[in-house]
């Protein structure tokens, strides 16, 4: 699911969790937040995902202060390092 900041159902921007909660609610079989996986590059996005109760994969700018990455479920240097099987998903 891809959403943008102009979506009318999203009342508040990040770091509020609205965008992720609205996205999850749009699936036919609404998933539990803890079974959702968020990909983010910003600390505000990580805060939003965690506040939504979701797991967050962070791929931050390499110059970002490491202290701003501590709330993510996992931090990766690049999306190419993502291993879906860590989250119970099939490998690619």
Query: Domain limits of the chain?
Result: 18-79
3-class DSSP state of 36 = coil
Burial class (CB in 10 A: 0-12, 13-18, 19+), 45: buried
pLDDT exceeds cutoff 90 at 3:
no
pLDDT of residue 7: 86
When pLDDT is cut at 50, 70 and 90, the band that residue 4 belongs to is confident
12-67 pLDDT, tens digit per residue, is 999 999 999 999 999 999 999 999 999 999 999 999 999 999 999 999 999 999 99
**Consecutive H or E run containing 37:** strand 37-40
pLDDT of residue 87: 97
Q: What is the reported pTM?
A: 0.92
Nearest to 5 by CA among 53, 56, 42: 42
CATH top-level class of 18-79: alpha beta
Rounded to whole angstroms, how far apart are CA atoms 68 and 64?
Answer: 7
């Amino acid at each position: 699911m891809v959403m943008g900041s102009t979506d009318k159902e999203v009342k508040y921007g990040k770091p509020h969790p609205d965008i992720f909660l609205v996205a999850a609610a749009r699936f036919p079989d609404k998933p539990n937040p803890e079974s959702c996986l968020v990909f983010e590059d910003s600390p505000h996005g990580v805060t939003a995902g965690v506040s939504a109760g979701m797991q967050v994969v962070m791929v931050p700018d390499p110059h970002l202060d490491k202290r701003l990455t501590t709330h993510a479920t996992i931090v990766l240097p690049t999306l190419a390092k993502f291993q879906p099987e860590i989250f119970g998903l099939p490998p690619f």
